[in-house]
């Protein structure tokens, strides 16, 4: 088929590669414009999809908006059978949704209608979900409200991080979308409306919610840390060399023990008491430093019981 692909981050790349490998004609890739990069922002960095499309010889388009009549006409002029959308980052107005013969199909990283919205992978882990998945959905003008065509379920392990789940879902979604396009081309793809019950929203992660609250349960703290790892990263403050510094917490495990919330207690280093139970910190990163395991971190940063907050 003639496909327009629309995506931006690394999460989208496996699907683009899978559709290209399947022999479809990718007539254009739409992606976010290059962003300022480097310490001074003097260079422009292309998105992972942009770089992949260029390597595959696919024309790339980077509009800042799709609301204008000229952009909508240019989209329709591609005369595509279908648009495939995976983490593109721009809202698609009605003329774009209707600008191909068969419509726009989205690869979404949750079991809809749970976790509609921007951060479904983070939110599923932060909420302690034990299962998520990828869904292929025909898009409408609502927020992830369209009918579902295909589903692939993925278990969430008790210590799995967002980074690990992200990679698993990216590959799962690529295979699922390739399968869906075969069925769409054959005219056998069935669409099922989403249920009205069980709707939740995966709001974009706000910086204000990334700090660890040690007064919560150990399981809640553990889910918070792994749900934000590796990006944007949960954090706390530690007294290092006499000064309080922000430290990212990028790995943790549930641990036995109890104590005043936020204090380091006896046990494997570094074990911090929570409101209920305790959490062992396994991977940490000071600002501007490398990610270190707990033992390596302590060799250069000794901590006392009251050096965490």
Treating both helix axes as pointing N-terminal to C-terminal, what angle do 13-21 and 162-186 enclose, rounded to 10 degrees?
A: 30
Q: Where are the beta strands (DSSP E) in the chain?
A: 2-7, 25-30, 35-37, 43-45, 60-61, 82-86, 104-108, 116-117, 131-138, 148-155, 201-202, 234-240, 243-255, 271-273, 278-286, 292-293
Q: Report which DSSP code applies to 66.
A: S
Residue position matching structure tokens 């036995």? 256
Angle among Cα 200, 206, 211 to the nearest 5 degrees reads: 110
At 49, give phi and psi (nearest 5°). -65, -40
Closest of 177, 132, 123, 127 to residue 154, by C-alpha: 132
Q: Which residues contact 156 (CB under 8 A, 6 or more apart)?
A: 124, 125, 129, 130, 131, 132, 165
Closest of 180, 186, 201, 192 to residue 84, by C-alpha: 180
What residues form the annotated binding site?
A: 110-113
Residue 166: which H helix or E strand, with range?
helix 162-186
Compute CA 19 distance to the chain's CA centroid, rounded to the nearest angstrom.
Answer: 21
| Alpha carbons 246 and 229: distance in angstroms, whole number | 16
What residues form the annotated binding site for (6S)-5,6,7,8-tetrahydrofolate?
A: 110-113
Burial 283-298 (b: 16+ CB within 10 A, else e): bbbbeeeebbebeebe
Per DSSP bridges, beta strands 243-255 and 234-240 are antiparallel
């Amino acid at each position: 088929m003639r496909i327009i692909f629309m995506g931006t981050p690394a999460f989208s790349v496996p699907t683009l590669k899978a559709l290209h490998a399947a022999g479809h004609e990718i007539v254009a890739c739409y992606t976010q414009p290059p962003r300022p990069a480097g310490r001074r922002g003097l260079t422009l960095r292309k998105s992972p999809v942009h770089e992949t499309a260029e390597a595959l010889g696919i024309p790339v388009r980077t509009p800042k908006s799709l609301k204008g009549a000229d952009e909508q006409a240019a989209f329709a002029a591609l005369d595509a059978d279908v648009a495939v959308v995976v983490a593109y980052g721009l809202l698609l107005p009605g003329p774009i949704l209707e600008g191909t013969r068969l419509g726009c199909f989205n690869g979404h990283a949750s079991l809809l209608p749970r976790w509609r919205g921007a951060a479904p992978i983070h939110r599923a882990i932060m909420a302690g979900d034990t299962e998520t998945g990828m869904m292929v959905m025909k898009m409408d003008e609502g927020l992830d409200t369209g009918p579902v065509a295909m589903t692939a379920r993925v278990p969430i392990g008790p210590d799995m991080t967002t980074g690990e789940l992200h990679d698993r879902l990216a590959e799962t979604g690529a295979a699922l979308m390739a399968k869906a396009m075969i069925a769409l081309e054959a005219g056998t793809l069935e669409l099922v409306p989403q249920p009205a019950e069980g709707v939740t929203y995966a709001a974009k992660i706000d910086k204000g919610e990334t700090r660890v609250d040690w007064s919560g349960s150990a399981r809640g703290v553990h889910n918070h840390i792994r749900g934000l790892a590796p990006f944007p990263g949960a954090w706390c403050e530690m007294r290092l060399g006499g000064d309080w510094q922000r430290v990212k917490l990028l790995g943790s495990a549930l641990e036995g023990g109890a104590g005043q919330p936020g204090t380091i207690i006896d046990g494997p280093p570094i074990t911090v008491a929570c409101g209920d139970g305790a959490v062992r910190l396994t991977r940490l990163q000071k600002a501007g430093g490398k990610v270190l395991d707990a033992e390596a971190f302590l060799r250069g940063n000794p901590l006392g019981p009251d050096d965490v907050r």
